[in-house]
Structure 1
Amino acid sequence: MTTRGTDMARMQRLDVRGRTSVITGAASGMGAEVARELDRRGARLALLDRNADGLAALTADLTGTGHTTHVIDLTDDDAVFALAAEIEASHPHVQALITCAGSSMLGDIDQLTMAEMRWLMDVNLWGTVNITKALLPAMRREPAAHVTHLVSIYGLAAPAGRIPYAMSKFAVRGFTESLRHELERTNVTVGAIYPAGVKTGIIGRGRYAEAIDPAVAERAAAAQAAMYHTEPADAAARIVEATVRRRPRTMIGREARPVDVRSRHTPPPDGAPKRRPLRAAIDTTTPIG
């Protein structure tokens, strides 16, 4: 493709109708909402998740045709690359990848084991990297294509008590930004989404260090969930629009942009009012009662 042709391809909006978007983590939460939004826009979908029942329930709600579901463990590299070939065979035009799969982990450095931290890094980082790498050849064959990675505001600023989650999200952010630069002169663009507090229930479905009293973990998770304000359907519409417009960086939620700005400067002192809700959300040591 010529330089002029590449530039035009990079400016081109995606027309999702009749073309395939691949969504990871599609069985629940943000992935399911993104699937519903793309289904309304007429896209064909390849829906990936470990949860077969969740995928079946989602597809029963969708009205479009040509969708496929794929039960996959994204931490299994060989299975992911084999799945990419399967997707290409059933979906000849893969123009978008939206990576929503991920999990959470509560616990401070003394409570967490190395195995627990490695598990979350495998899920959040390497699951994102391998599906992206596996599908890039198919996406390069499209006139225009876009990769959307869900990062987090914890990929902009890292609180205490969330070390493995923040590590994984900073790593996804680095992968996304580096890949975007690598693909600058191609038809594939890459974007990062930084959500703040979407009410998907991820914190309740996530894990916590085995060393934490379950009641204490439940209290911390509830405090974290109380900080979430954005409705999943609203976030999904923003994510899909960012994908269609092939935006490099999108903030979602009222806290996202202030966190982005503050992270570039000296952070506020620990006693600042804005930190109080977060302190309750990361407290996994104070006993109940």
Structure 2
Amino acid sequence: MTAIPGASVAITGAASGIGRALAIELAGRGADLALADRDEAGLQTLAAEIASASRRRVSLHRVDVSEPEAVAAFAREAIAAHPALNIVVNNAGVALLGHFHEIDQAQIEWLFNINFWGVVHSTRAFLDHLASQPAAHIVNVSSIFGIVAPPGQTAYAAAKFAVRGFSESLRHELQLANSPVRLSVVHPGGIRTNIVRNSRAGSGVLDNERRAQSIERFDAIAQTSARDAALRIIKGIERNEPRILIGGDARFMDILQRFRPAGYWKVMAKHVWKTPTQEHKA
């Protein structure tokens, strides 16, 4: 178990969405925070909101997680500001709209540099320090698309599956070494954040209606608030859960994948995605 009161927590992608909700909830439970994001204005607004409700120590860090040197500097600065830092939440992520033939290699690499390599860079930068703490925890945010892979998500699903594989293997290594560091991988379903609205479109996506349709579809299935997602992650940290599924949709898709590992998409297309027949047969 990793206790939240008295903890010091580093969070990437903290200015919005799940990261922002986590910062607020953790501060309310007695944790100090090192908050990282590219959005400096968003970080300042968040820090002001936390300061109005609690007296926790909060440090702010402008970080692009796709840059290894920037992540290493963040770790050094966060540890200097919070010497007892013992929880790291690798949450920063982006989305990319388009089928494989509509996205180019540079766009896939852009997404991987943030969604996967950002997790790896941060884990490497913090791990030695975490291992020196009496109790420590790494939380790597994957996705339900790290368990199932619908069409139109080739880059995103590949990166989130990679986060899952990296996290599970590292967890087993930490267990073999009797490390004090615990590791949870998070698989959110549809969470009401702006990740789809802020997504990039593939270079081959020429239909402007596609983004509107994607947002509409996401809004229809995103039934979990960012705050509820944050509360579920905190419970998972406290219970040392290796896998944290968030939302009824995520739990359903996880079970579906277990029972129909090669055929889950037909069920998802009909009951979850509600994709037109001609599209999901493609």
TM-score for the superposition, normalised by structure 1: 0.89
Aligned residue in 2 for 1:38? 26
Aligned residue in 2 for 1:5? none
Identity %: 37
Aligned residue in 2 for 1:3? none
Separation in 2 of the partners of 1:165 and 1:52? 25
C-alpha RMSD of matched pairs (Å):
1.5
1:69 aligns with 2:27: no
Report Cα offsets for 1:120-167 as digits up to 9, x if no partner: 011100011101110011111110101111111100010001110000
1:201 aligns with 2:194: yes
Aligned residue in 1 for 2:183? 190
Report Cα offsets for 1:162-221 as digits up to 9, x if no partner: 110000000000011011011001100111111111111211112121321233222222
How many positions carry a matched residue from both structures? 268
Gaps spanning 5+ residues in structure 1: where?
A: 1-12, 284-289
Separation in 1 of the partners of 2:154 and 2:99? 7
Separation in 2 of the partners of 1:16 and 1:187? 16
Aligned residue in 1 for 2:239? 245
Instruction: Give, in angstroms, the shift of residue 273 of structure 1.
Output: 2.7
Aligned residue in 1 for 2:212? 218
Equivalent position amino acid for 1:227 in 2: I
Answer yes or no: is the 8 Å Cα contact 2:34–2:78 preserved in 1: yes
Answer yes or no: is the 8 Å Cα contact 1:96–1:243 preserved in 2: no
Match of residue 3, structure 2, among 12, 15, 18: 15
1:158 aligns with 2:149: yes
Out of 189-198 and 211-220, give the one that drifted further.
Answer: 211-220
1:49 aligns with 2:37: yes
Which secondary structure does the structure 1 equivalent of 2:204 belong to?
Answer: coil
Instruction: Give, in angstroms, the shift of residue 69 of structure 1.
Output: 0.5
TM-score for the superposition, normalised by structure 2: 0.91
Aligned residue in 2 for 1:270? 266
Answer yes or no: is the 8 Å Cα contact 2:9–2:34 preserved in 1: yes
Separation in 1 of the partners of 2:182 and 2:201? 35
Out of 144-153 and 267-276, give the one that drifted further.
Answer: 267-276
Which secondary structure does the structure 2 equivalent of 1:47 belong to?
Answer: strand
Instruction: Give, in angstroms, the shift of residue 269 of structure 1.
Output: 6.5
Separation in 2 of the partners of 1:16 and 1:234? 17
Equivalent position amino acid for 2:147 in 1: L
